[in-house]
Amino acid sequence: MLAGVPNYCADEISEADFRYIRALIAEHSGIQITEQKRSMVLGRLAKRVRTLGLPSIAAYCERVRACPERELTELISALTTNVTAFFREAHHFVFLAERIIPELLVRNAATRRIRIWSAGCSTGEEPYSIAMAVLEALPTGQFWDFKLLATDLDQQVVEFGREAVYRSDRLETMVPGRRRRWFQRVGGKSVDRIQVVNELRERVRFVPLNLMGPWAMKGPFDVIFCRNVIIYFNKERKERLIDRFADLTALGGYLFIGHSESLYGLTDRFRPIGKTIYRKGES
């Protein structure tokens, strides 16, 4: 035991506390934590217990019960998974650049406006990958009003994405030309950090957002990415979320979901057109 830090019990969580945490997370984020995730919850709460210097997970749950709004952001951050990478599920970005952008150049020619939403953006790799794909596909010498909204439930990852500073090894699989164009080293040669260039950062707006809560944006969006998010929701919440996405998607617009997800049985407002790629049709 470290000096000044009380002994804590990180190997158990009562059934009542586990049910309480599951219900709280579901209520505020829509995320369904199954019984099979008990060990994951235990391990992540133990880290939070250490940070706060509390004697046990039971004591932590008592703190949350007493004042949930004070700890809720940290709790959700601890229990949500942020696994991401630049150009993850690469076929989506190929489809975006080779089919959607040429289509929008014609469809939106009068306004020269493109709007995309990355919902569940994590630490920013996805929205910056989208922005790179779009800007590389736009014709040179033409101005297009392209903006990308990046949202996530976790305030900490939103701030990380906004800062846009990454370890250089995150770019190891990226082609050299793309690395040179969109990233710059920060902190000197001895610091293993790179930052997204301003030209790209200024196209992306990071905002914390609970997908189960109210939305301030009005749309319409030409494209929405919501990958590896709906898998954590129950059927009712999935249906509601997809319906809200459809409300904000332009007619003929696109929705991208994760490789292990499907809209089968959830909606008739989007039709599948490719691997985890959907298009909004006539209402």
Question: Known catalytic residues?
Answer: 44, 152
User: What would the pLDDT profile of 38-50 be if each residue is shown by its tens digit?
Assistant: 888 888 898 888 8
* Residues 132 and 258 both lie in one domain: yes
- For the cut 60, the answer to whether the pLDDT of residue 5 exceeds it is no
Is residue 183 a part of any domain in this protein?
Answer: yes
Higher-confidence residue of 1 and 7: namely: 7
Q: Are residues 73 and 112 in the same domain?
A: no
Same domain, 116 and 169: yes
pLDDT digits (tens, 9 = 90+) for 58-94: 999 998 888 887 788 788 878 876 668 999 999 999 9
Number of structural domains the chain divides into: 2
Residue 187 pLDDT level (bands cut at 50, 70, 90): confident
The pTM of this model reads 0.84
The yes-or-no verdict on residue 256 having pLDDT over 50 is yes
The answer to whether residues 68 and 113 belong to one domain is: no
Q: Using 50, 70 and 90 to split pLDDT, how confident is the model at 196?
A: very high
103 and 69 within one domain: no
Q: pLDDT tens for residues 121-154?
A: 999 999 999 999 999 999 998 999 999 999 999 8
SS3 per-residue string spanning the chain: CCCCCCCCECCCCCHHHHHHHHHHHHHHHCCCCCHHHHHHHHHHHHHHHHHHCCCEHHHHHHHHHHCHHHHHHHHHHHHCCCCCCCCCCCHHHHHHHHHHHHHHHHHCCCCCEEEEEEECCCCCHHHHHHHHHHHHHCCCCCCCEEEEEEEECCHHHHHHHHHCEEEHHHHCCCCHHHHHHHEEECCCCCCCEEEECHHHHCCEEEEECCCCCCCCCCCCEEEEEECCCHHHCCHHHHHHHHHHHHHHEEEEEEEEECCCCCCCCCCCCEEEEECCEEEECCC
Reported as a pLDDT band with limits 50, 70 and 90, residue 7 is: very low
Report yes or no on 6 lying in a domain. no
CA distance linking residue 195 with residue 164, whole number of Å: 6
229 vs 22: CA distance, rounded Å: 17
CATH number at residue 180: 3.40.50.150
pLDDT of residue 37: 84
Partnered with residue 278 across adjacent β-strands are 255, 272
CATH number, domain with residue 56: 1.10.155.10
Residue 218 lies in a domain: yes
- The residue ranking higher by pLDDT, 283 or 281, is 281
Q: What is the pLDDT of residue 283?
A: 47
- How confident is the model at residue 119, as a pLDDT? 97
Note whether 170 and 211 are same-domain residues.
Answer: yes
* Full residue range of the structural domain in which residue 50 is found: 15-79
Q: What digits encode the pLDDT tens for the residues 226-246? A: 999 998 899 999 999 999 999
Residues 184 and 69 grouped into a single domain? no
- My answer on whether 252 and 154 are in the same domain is yes
Q: Are residues 148 and 245 in the same domain?
A: yes
